[in-house]
């Protein structure tokens, strides 16, 4: 199973996103990918940080799919990532509709088994804090890939 920590950030009128992709090993998690960027889609930028949170999940899942992974655990600090994916929340705004459609399509198209784990933000989770710092760095123009 691949584990992906995700986060979004909104600073200086810029929306950042990031994920940290990890392989599970006998001794724990091994970081194999870090990526971040900014959200520029005019249809969703009014959603500020939420757009970054959701973009991080989509980017992380896309990375995992490109690796031909089918079992993916997403660890997130914004519960909408899970609630919209599981259709527990109505997707009323464009950012939520696009995310929900994308994630459900990916699950069906690639036969993904998804596990959704909420991680409290800023609670000392090293990998969640790393995703947070990468999302913030993206809002300042500092990128990793």
Structural domain boundaries in the chain: 2-139
For the purposes of burial, counting CB atoms within 10 Å of the CB of 11, is it exposed (0-12), middle (13-18) or buried (19 or more)? middle
What pLDDT score does 123 carry? 79
As a whole number of angstroms, the distance between CA 61 and CA 111 comes to: 12
Element (H, E) at 76: strand 71-76
Using a cut of 0.85, tell me whether the model's pTM lies above it: yes
Of 94, 90, 83, residue with least CA distance to 41? 94
What pLDDT score was predicted for residue 121? Answer: 76
Tens-of-pLDDT digits for all 145 residues of the chain? 999 999 999 999 999 999 999 999 999 999 999 999 999 999 888 899 999 999 999 999 999 999 999 999 999 999 999 999 999 999 999 999 999 999 999 999 999 999 999 998 777 889 999 999 999 999 999 999 8
To the question of domain 2-139 being in CATH 3.40.50.2300, the answer is no
- Polymer length in residues for the chain: 145
């Amino acid at each position: 199973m691949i584990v992906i920590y995700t986060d979004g950030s909104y600073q200086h009128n810029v929306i950042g996103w990031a994920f940290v992709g990890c392989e599970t090993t006998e001794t724990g998690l091994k970081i194999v990918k870090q990526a971040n960027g900014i959200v520029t889609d005019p249809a969703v930028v009014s959603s500020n940080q939420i757009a970054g949170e959701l973009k991080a999940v989509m980017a992380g899942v896309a990375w995992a799919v490109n690796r031909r992974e089918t079992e993916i655990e997403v660890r997130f600090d914004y519960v909408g990532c899970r609630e919209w994916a599981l259709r527990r929340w109505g997707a009323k705004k464009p950012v939520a509709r696009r995310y929900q459609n994308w994630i459900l399509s990916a699950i069906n198209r690639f036969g993904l088994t998804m596990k959704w784990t909420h991680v409290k933000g800023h609670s000392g989770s090293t990998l969640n804090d790393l995703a947070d710092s990468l999302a913030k760095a993206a809002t300042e123009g500092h990128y990793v890939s």
